[in-house]
Structure 1
Amino acid sequence: MKKSYIEERPWGKFEQFTNNELSTVKIIEVHPQKRLSLQSHQHREEWWIALDDGIVAEIEGIRRVLKKGEHVFVPMRAKHRLSSEKERVRVLEIAFGSFDENDNTRYEDDYGRT
């Protein structure tokens, strides 16, 4: 499991999520009452950091509602999805490994893409 690194400074602190690693960073926005596919990736793992309260993270059947600033790690090959129950929500995604938007195995999809 990846861990972030927190360092205190006289002016405050910073939290570092990646250092000199092959990574891809995205901000994902989920519309109210929508969800992404239940999917897995063969060539990357992901780290999700909630930018808003109320993002629902499901990883290997375990569902967790994140508050702003909380983060979870998605291991390679783990079934996972993001969703929103009420409001528009955003998550910062840091993907580690070989990134390819086609590296998706979809198990469930509300939009007919399985």
Structure 2
Amino acid sequence: MTSPTSRIDEPEIYTEQRPWGGFERFTWNEQSTVKIIHVAPGQRLSLQRHRHRDELWVALDPGAVFEVAGERIEPEVGRRVMIRAGQTHRMSSSGPAVRVLEIAFGHFDEDDIERLEDSYGRV
């Protein structure tokens, strides 16, 4: 099966090298919301979708699991996965506590979450 990153374009990420190393710029003068999501050992977020925002996820720790449009992805640290508005998605931990950088593009509103399945009775 083709991975979501090969079907769905990421936003343009600007990379610049400097004498001390370099940086990657994910957004520049655009509306975005940035979070680091902490997933407790063995836990998972609800299977959900949003109407008004895209999300870029970056795995920060080993053990993260992404589910996007029905495909299970076990990303290596640093892997980026783009989720477009309307796509089903969830993240979880395969065992250890994990952190995921989330950059949301567009109008961010926690009430825009449509939960399809949830382990905590919030559907």
Q: Where is the strand percentage greater, Structure 1 or Structure 2?
A: 1
Partner of 1:35: 44
In the TM superposition, what is the alpha-carbon distance from 1:81 to its structure 2 partner?
0.3
Unpaired stretches in structure 2, ≥5 consecutive residues: 1-8
Aligned length: 114
Partner of 1:107: 116
**Identity of matched residues, %:** 55
Unpaired stretches in structure 1, ≥5 consecutive residues: none
Query: 2:58, 2:113 → 1: CA distance?
Result: 20
When normalised by structure 2's length, the TM-score is 0.88
Residue 27 (structure 2) pairs with residue 21 (structure 1):
no
List, as ranges, runs of 4+ consecutive aligned residues in structure 1 with deviation greater than 3 Å. none
One of 58, 61, 67 as aligned partner of 1:52: 61
Partner of 1:6: 15
When normalised by structure 1's length, the TM-score is 0.95
One of 95, 98, 102 as aligned partner of 2:104: 95
Query: 2:64, 2:12 → 1: CA distance?
Result: 20
Deviations along 1:31-84, whole A, 9 cap, x unmatched?
111100000000001011111112111100111111221111111110000000
One-letter amino acid of the counterpart of residue 35, structure 2: K
